Chain A
């Protein structure tokens, strides 16, 4: 908290590592909120970005608790407005639309019901029906209509609104919760939403542009933030998408021809707008109202849309040429890699398209969709994607690369060409965030090594700290197992990973741990491929049968539905005492989003070090870029990434002070100091020398004894004075000294 306060005072950026379950969220929230109440001028808004919907919900729960506490302490109502913003899918209360499963479908159906021109048409149809014309009424969303009618200026009352609260609120008043939330962003003091609303330039423009500068932005669970940044700026195009693009274009052509006959004036209107350029947007930027959109750099805004794409037909022809060109590029037999500049030159030579119109592609397309009154956005998505690609490729020459591969990584023999347009520089997407907001806090349970993040995100934090846990008992047991019972070194390194002796020893380790550990055990492999080969040889060696004697076996697959079913059954097996083993993959869905607290994960085994697939072209390009631009050695980055994922995996088991779990790193290479020192501090603290370089048998003995100790009753009394402080204790001289010591020690 002290560190956070310092950071806020300095109005700088922070990187904090705190183990999960130690009150990270609540301490962040309470300090920032108090700061906000105390000095409302310096900090006006808190933007809290989390990763998944359940996490967002959890934050709001904490926030509501905090709000009640403050109200109780001060005895008066706070004027805080906190709310969660999520996609239409999570907020829709329309009886038909909310039945849809896929987010995209919900979005487009909602768009079809609420877009401005649809409503205008509906109004026209209504009057026509009133005249007795007999025209079909155009469907609109009644919730949105009611909001428009009554709630334009209505504001949310002070309070904390979670997603469910919003829905409830919406139902009560007959207002659309999604748009209520969208409108309330401006008014609210605390906003909780997902990363993408701030990082993805396409969405950020819509949602987050109105957030004022003196806000504090918190990125929770931010260990993967660089990848999120990169993904938000990257585009993949394959053949099927291009085919659909062509279909889209021809459909639009027809539409234009139609329109021309009936309503030529509208097209003329649009043309005029193009000539005027994007002056409006420019005005806004000068007022510093707009979050700088990295897709549209400054100079574009000062120009008018170039002549050759101003009319609708010309633009469509232009797009057609572009799509054909991309199709041509995809017709390759070998891997091609080139820079955006090279790509632009090639495109100029082949189809005589130069850079400038390409840049305006995205803008021009949205404008055209508006003019044509197209509602089915989901259907048009490939075309939108291509236009984004065109804009990005012509805007940025540095930090991006284009790779055309004849086949997929996973299926190397099937011809399925893909064009990757990859962002290599994670700092691009997040740069406007750092520049715009007063303080940005990046926090997670596993951020070590901390100095890497400022480097790859290219910012200068005022404070970087890693906190450890103060615990009344050693509730994590990290162990590094390096050899099996027969003294064979175990490692997942390339040369030895197919060795049956290594696989057998991994199997024996698992069987032994499974006999010693109650309830849930989670194993992480380095990749799906490795897991499959290991499981099949375990089957041959009879290890699977031994496993099933003790626990049920579940396996994560690449299919999301299958995996969630497996997870559900896994939880059930843990609940009713049968016990279960879950085999999953680092970097998979399980390793990222699922918590295995208490009995669900008493033990986590990490088989091997989860290095990235180093043969991938994309990774190679990124490594090269990192080396050239930020002076980060390839090996350093790879290790950083691998250890970060490993600690993320094992961190799944530890979700709070009363929780306990074993963490087994089963690879000889974890033993080395370059890996060991990169683990988060709160794990390193417990990783004594006697816990390294163990054999399977030793590890099992240690964990047996440890499990017995952990099962002893653990009451609040024991924690008091160590990890829980009463008010008196907190104020006592001795404790104050101790805390001061800790702080100075850390610095």
Chain B
């Protein structure tokens, strides 16, 4: 958790027996074993087997956030709610970063009701703004899983069939107060092919596990805040596409970027900040201009506010592309006994002192664990292979492109 937040008092939490997880290594030292544990956990995430499946690149996702009384419990610091919102902020950013042609909305359930806080949309700023507002909202009563799901389904139902329909539920409460039979709702979700994943904050609740199982989603319960972050971030990756999804072409705009320095254009407000409070720096010359209607936007990716065209830059699309052809996971190799000192191919740090070393299967370069993670999670392109470029450059220069999804 961020340090600037007011921490909960230590005595309000449970007895945390941190020493139980640690074991001494052969030399009686603790440091290495702790580092080892962390590194292994990270690698385990990467190595999750990914068979060659079709992925739903264009995603429509509703986040369902439980805002019941149980969100005020302080086992995640400072409270579950604030912890969740912090993590979700990061998630939303990452989500749009990795899935630039997707849409996301937020539903909050409390006091036996559910309401849409933020409609499905492609603008991360708006979503994050709504999330920030939620942190001051009161958490009361019980949640209603059924109402929330119905609400999400009613909106997702109208989405085109080439897009994946998803719901991600963050559930803190151990009870749900529903007006009818939730099993019927789950059945209808199955029929609509809406994939529901659930992250529990407290314990395994039968109905949520059932929901996830039936609709083909994932179910998980967090151990602590870092585990919660990991679990949430796992949903950034697009899920495998459902069988019925049809292939379609969608129009995407690649706006040209005018920097304030090189364009003598007029001062103007961008579309994103037109309705809200004016940005502190005032009107600007720079920004992204929609290739269709020439309205200005200050950030990408976004749906054009005027003509509705999906705007993004070529690297965004390239990043979506990596989901389809992921970088092969590196092999874990044993440190060779003796020999000359070896260095990581990326950061040039000495790696023969470390326990875990990764090796690229293609070019047999060696990497340290941190670089391994960086390459796979953020960069998606191997460092040593320098000549790999984006194949979209030419089309992007021309303005728009039809992209198959």
Interface residues, chain A, with chain B CB atoms under 8 Å away: 515-519, 549-551, 574-579, 598-599, 602, 698, 701, 704-705, 707-713
Q: Which residues of B contact A (CB under 8 A)?
A: 14-15, 75, 142, 145, 174-178, 181-183, 200, 202-208, 220-223
Chain A residues closer than 8 Å to B204, beta-carbon distance: 518, 707, 710-711
Residues of chain B within 8 A (CB-CB) of A709 are 223
| Residue pair B174, A704 in contact (C-beta under 8 Å) | no
Counting residue pairs across A and B whose Cβ atoms lie within 8 Å, the total is: 75
The answer to whether A577 and B208 have CB atoms under 8 Å apart is yes
Are B174's CB and A579's CB within 8 A? yes
Cβ contacts under 8 Å, A707 to chain B: 202-204
- Measured between C-beta atoms, what is the minimum distance from B150 to chain A in Å? 14
Partner among B15, B183, B202, B205 whose Cβ is within 8 Å of the Cβ of A708: B202
Within the complex, what minimum Cβ distance (angstroms) separates A356 from chain B? 65
Cβ 8 A contact of A577, one of B15, B75, B182, B202: B182
Would you call A576 and B14 a contact (CB within 8 A)? no
Contacts A518-B204, A698-B15 aside, 19 further interface pairs with beta carbons under 8 A come to: A515-B174, A516-B203, A517-B174, A517-B203, A519-B174, A551-B175, A575-B183, A575-B206, A576-B182, A576-B207, A577-B178, A577-B206, A578-B176, A579-B174, A599-B206, A701-B15, A704-B203, A708-B202, A710-B203
Most chain A CB atoms below 10 A, which of B15, B176, B177, B204: B204
Chain A residues with CB below 8 A from B14, complex form: 701, 704-705
Interchain CA distance A38-B301 in the complex, whole Å:
74
Neighbouring A residues of B206 by C-beta, 8 Å: 518-519, 574-575, 577, 598-599
Closest-by-CB residue of A relative to B180 is A576
B residues less than 8 Å from A711 (CB atoms):
200, 203-204, 220-221
With A and B bound together, what is the CA distance between A698 and B181 in angstroms? 36
Most B CB contacts (10 A, CB to CB) among A515, A698, A711 go to A711
Most B CB within 10 A of own CB, among A549, A550, A707, A708: A708
Q: Measured between C-beta atoms, what is the minimum distance from A474 to chain B in Å?
A: 13
Q: Are A704 and B75 in contact, CB atoms less than 8 angstroms apart?
A: yes
Measured CA separation A550–B181 after assembly (Å): 19
Closest B-chain residue to A515, C-beta based? B174
Contact check, B178 vs A713: say whether CB atoms are below 8 A apart. Answer: no
Q: Hey, which chain B residues are within 8 Å of A519, CB to CB?
A: 174, 205-206
**Chain A, residue nearest B178 (CB):** A576
- Across the interface, do B175 and A550 meet the contact criterion of CB distance under 8 Å? yes
Task: Tell me if B223 and A579 are in contact (CB < 8 A).
Answer: no
Interchain CA distance A575-B145 in the complex, whole Å: 13
Residue of A nearest to B208 (CB): A577
| Alpha-carbon distance A277/B222, docked complex (angstroms) | 78
Q: Which residues of B contact A713 (CB under 8 A)?
A: 220
- Asked if residues A518 and B202 are in contact (CB atoms below 8 Å), the reply is yes
**When chains A and B are docked, how far (Å) is the Cα of A701 from the Cα of B142?**
22
- Asked if residues B221 and A577 are in contact (CB atoms below 8 Å), the reply is no
Rounded to whole angstroms, the CA-CA distance of A579 and B202 in the bound complex is: 14
Name B203's contact: one of A518, A578, A698, A701 (CB within 8 Å). A518
Q: A550 CA to B220 CA in the complex, in Å?
A: 22
CB distance from A713 to the nearest CB of B (A): 7
Q: Which residue of B lies closest to A572 (CB)?
A: B181
Among residues of A, the one whose C-beta sits closest to the C-beta of B175 is: A579
B residues near A579, Cβ cutoff 8 Å: 174-175
Is A575 in contact with B202, judged by CB distance below 8 angstroms? no
List 10 A-B residue pairs with CB atoms under 8 Å apart, sorted by A's residue number: A518-B206, A519-B174, A550-B175, A575-B207, A577-B182, A701-B15, A704-B14, A707-B202, A712-B223, A713-B220
Which chain B residue shows the least CB distance to A551? B175
State in angstroms the CA–CA spacing of A578 and B207 once bound together.
9
**Interchain CA distance A599-B204 in the complex, whole Å:** 9
B175 contacts across to A, CB distance below 8 A: 550-551, 577-579
The one of A518, A708, A710 that contacts B174, using a Cβ cutoff of 8 Å = A518
- Complex Cα distance, B221 from A576, in Å, reads 18
B182 near A708: Cβ-Cβ < 8 Å: no
| Structural contact, A578 and B174, CB atoms closer than 8 A | no
Distance A354 CA – B238 CA, assembled complex (angstroms): 91
State in angstroms the CA–CA spacing of A707 and B203 once bound together.
Answer: 5
Q: Shortest Cβ distance from A431 into chain B, in angstroms?
A: 47
Shortest distance from the beta carbon of A224 to any chain B beta carbon, whole Å: 31
Shortest C-beta distance, B205 to chain A (Å), equals: 4
Expressed in whole angstroms, the minimum distance between the Cβ of A595 and any Cβ of chain B is 15
Q: How far is the CB of B145 from chain A (nearest CB, A)?
A: 6
A577 touches B145 (CB 8 A): yes
Q: How far is the CA of A598 from the CA of B175 in the complex (A)?
A: 16
A-B CB proximity, top 4 nearest? A577-B207, A711-B221, A599-B206, A711-B204
Find chain A residues with CB under 8 A from B177 CB.
Answer: 578
Query: Which residues of chain B have C-beta atoms less than 8 A from A598's C-beta?
Result: 206
The residues of A that contact B176 with a CB separation of less than 8 Å are 576-578
Q: Shortest CB–CB separation between residue A476 and chain B, in angstroms? A: 15
Nearest neighbor of B142 in chain A, beta-carbon distance: A549
Tell me the minimal C-beta distance from A71 to chain B in angstroms: 34
Complex CA–CA separation, A578 to B222 (angstroms): 21
In the bound complex, CA of A387 to CA of B345 (Å): 97
A576 contacts which of B142, B174, B181, B203 (Cβ < 8 Å)? Answer: B181
